[in-house]
Amino acid sequence: MARKNADGYLSAKESRRISRENRKVTNVFEKQRKRKNVPESEYLCEMKDISNVIEVEDLHTYFFTDVGTVKSVDGVSFSVPIGKTIGVVGESGCGKSVTSLSIMQLLQRPQGQIVSGEIRMNLGSKAYDIVKTPNEVMQHLRGNEISMIFQEPMTALNPVFRIGAQVDEVLALHNPDMSKHDVRQRSVELLDLVGIANPERVYKMYPHELSGGMRQRVVIAMALACDPKLIIADEPTTALDVTIQAQILDLLRRLKDRINSSIMLITHDLGVIAEMADYVVVMYSGRIVESGTAEEIFNNPAHPYTKGLMASKPVVGRKVDSLYSIPGKVPNPVNMPDYCYFKDRCELCVGKCAGEYPPEIKLSATHTVACYRYVDKEGETNG
Ligand SMILES: Nc1ncnc2c1ncn2[C@@H]1O[C@H](COP(=O)(O)OP(=O)(O)O)[C@@H](O)[C@H]1O
Ligand SMILES: [Mg+2]
């Protein structure tokens, strides 16, 4: 346990001690990750269900910081079926981005590390466990098999290069045999595909000459350049206004069907989820509190947190004096309590909530919830 001084801050000495210990831990992970010529057999794995493109099982991703270990993702399991969209929803800070960065292996290293769990990626003829896949190999998976669309398109584009050069670069990197002329032609095609009018002209423009929506289209074009099996979209429309948001979502949906890939859509916006997702995962403080089909989650939300999220969403035609907001805030993941993380904000607590973290209860074949309110009702637990 970290010792704090009278002001509640860690002393410099204590901080240095933690930092030294962290380095010991992270060096072990880093060494593993940076190995060269690792035999494929070490990271080959079997999918539990071959109709899934990704299966995440009991994923733990921690950040080893100078003030302590941040358990950003603490035992998350879910899968993404081929050709489907899974929505991941939860308040800011609940571990959505860290989950997706873990899948991409783009965590801020060396502090951020996947400490345990499996991420099985279906590559058709074989499957890889991304947790064990070395950096060398990961470089080929990123872009080719999995690609990511970030919230703020300006950060994904380089302001000093023309749009065309940036799309060309992605294509050339993943298709080393393609001629310069073919790359250029394909880039223009891609820009056209994502609904950019006059793609030849945009090809020669700089990012600052485009609107936010146009930039996000360019980023999507880059993400789709190699027909990835999985597209991770982390708050892809949060920086855009509502009408553009609808266009971008529509575009994503159409492109996904065209290349028959899957989407993992991360958002704090339930409206976006309702429109896009086949399955929904509700995250709270680094764990999944509820998951199910979109219908189950919207028609029959079980966890008090999901109910709270639903209640805090405005509904057209329903008049309210003030919009509901869940009291309190997401707990600090450095010092998590042993009981249900939502307990201190929950208005529906029962006696057992003060006990250990609730087990996962199956409400249907697809619907699960981690909450004591359902333990006795259903009688069966699988956690
Ligand atoms: N690089 C980092 N170093 C330390 N803590 C981090 C880092 N990145 C994220 N975290 C912490 O992990 C938790 C989850 O963050 P994140 O996944 O970004 O949340 P969100 O659900 O909003 O995407 C937060 O408490 C955040 O402070
Ligand atoms: Mg995020």
Higher-pLDDT residue of 199 and 154 is 199
pLDDT band at 379 (very low <50, low <70, confident <90, very high): very low
Q: Does the pLDDT of residue 5 top 70, yes or no? A: no
pLDDT band at 187 (very low <50, low <70, confident <90, very high): very high
Pocket test for ligand 1, best of 98, 288, 335 (most atoms within 8 A of CB): 98
Atom of ligand 1 nearest to the CA of 332: 25
Mean pLDDT within 240-260 = 86
pLDDT of residue 68: 85
pLDDT band at 225 (very low <50, low <70, confident <90, very high): confident
Question: Does ligand 1 come within 6 angstroms of the Cβ of 97?
Answer: yes
β 361-362/279-284 pair status: unpaired
pLDDT of residue 64: 94
Q: Does the pLDDT of residue 35 top 90, yes or no? A: no
Question: Does ligand 1 come within 6 angstroms of the Cβ of 110?
Answer: no
CA of 204 relative to ligand 2 center, distance in Å: 32
pLDDT of residue 23: 93
CA of 383 relative to ligand 2 center, distance in Å: 28
Contact 290, 282 (CB under 8 A): yes
pLDDT of residue 311: 86
Element (H, E) at 292: strand 287-293
Pocket test for ligand 1, best of 19, 70, 269 (most atoms within 8 A of CB): 70
Pocket test for ligand 1, best of 18, 26, 63, 150 (most atoms within 8 A of CB): 63
Contact 148, 103 (CB under 8 A): no
Atom of ligand 1 nearest to the CA of 70: 5
Q: Does the pLDDT of residue 6 top 70, yes or no? A: no
156 by DSSP, 3-state: which?
helix
CA of 351 relative to ligand 2 center, distance in Å: 33
Contact 92, 86 (CB under 8 A): no
**Predicted confidence (pLDDT) per residue in 209-218, tens digit:** 999 889 989 9
Range of weakest confidence among 147-156, 183-192, 256-265: 147-156
Rounded distance, CA 368 to CA 156, Å? 36
φ/ψ of residue 151, rounded to 5: -65, -45
Higher-pLDDT residue of 104 and 246 is 104
For 120-153, the DSSP string reads EEE-SS-EEETTT--HHHHHHHHHHTEEEE-S-H
pLDDT band at 381 (very low <50, low <70, confident <90, very high): very low
Q: Does the pLDDT of residue 240 top 90, yes or no? A: no
Question: Does ligand 1 come within 6 angstroms of the Cβ of 134?
Answer: no
Higher-pLDDT residue of 175 and 82 is 82
Atom of ligand 1 nearest to the CA of 90: 21
Rounded distance, CA 352 to CA 344, Å? 13
Contact 286, 63 (CB under 8 A): no
| Residues ≥6 apart with Cβ < 8 Å to 318 | none
pLDDT band at 287 (very low <50, low <70, confident <90, very high): very high
pLDDT of residue 380: 46
CA of 72 relative to ligand 1 center, distance in Å: 6
Rounded distance, CA 107 to CA 110, Å? 8
193 by DSSP, 3-state: which?
helix
Rounded distance, CA 190 to CA 225, Å? 7
Q: Does the pLDDT of residue 197 top 80, yes or no? A: yes
Q: Does the pLDDT of residue 227 top 70, yes or no? A: yes
The model's pTM is 0.89
Residue nearest to atom 26 of ligand 1 (CA): 93
| Ligand nearest to the CA of residue 96, numbered in listed order | 1
* Ion ligand 2: residue ranges with CB closer than 5 A: 97
Mean pLDDT within 140-150 = 90
Contact 34, 133 (CB under 8 A): no
pLDDT of residue 28: 92
Report which listed range, 29-43, 77-91, 228-242, 340-354, is most confident: 77-91
pLDDT of residue 2: 58
CA of 230 relative to ligand 2 center, distance in Å: 18
Mean pLDDT within 248-271 = 90
**Dihedral sign, Cα of residue 157, residue 159, residue 160, residue 164:** positive
**Percent above pLDDT 70 for the chain:** 95
Rounded distance, CA 352 to CA 357, Å? 10
Report which listed range, 59-63, 65-69, 268-272, is most confident: 59-63
Structure tokens at 117: 């769990």
pLDDT of residue 383: 39
pLDDT of residue 143: 85
User: Average pLDDT, whole number, for the chain?
Assistant: 89
Task: State which amino acid sits at residue 206.
Answer: Y
Rounded distance, CA 344 to CA 328, Å? 8
125-157 in b/e form (b: 16+ CB < 10 A) is eebbbbbbbbeeebeebbbbbbbbbbbebbebb
Mean pLDDT within 293-322 = 86
179 burial (CB, 10 Å; 0-12 / 13-18 / 19+) is exposed
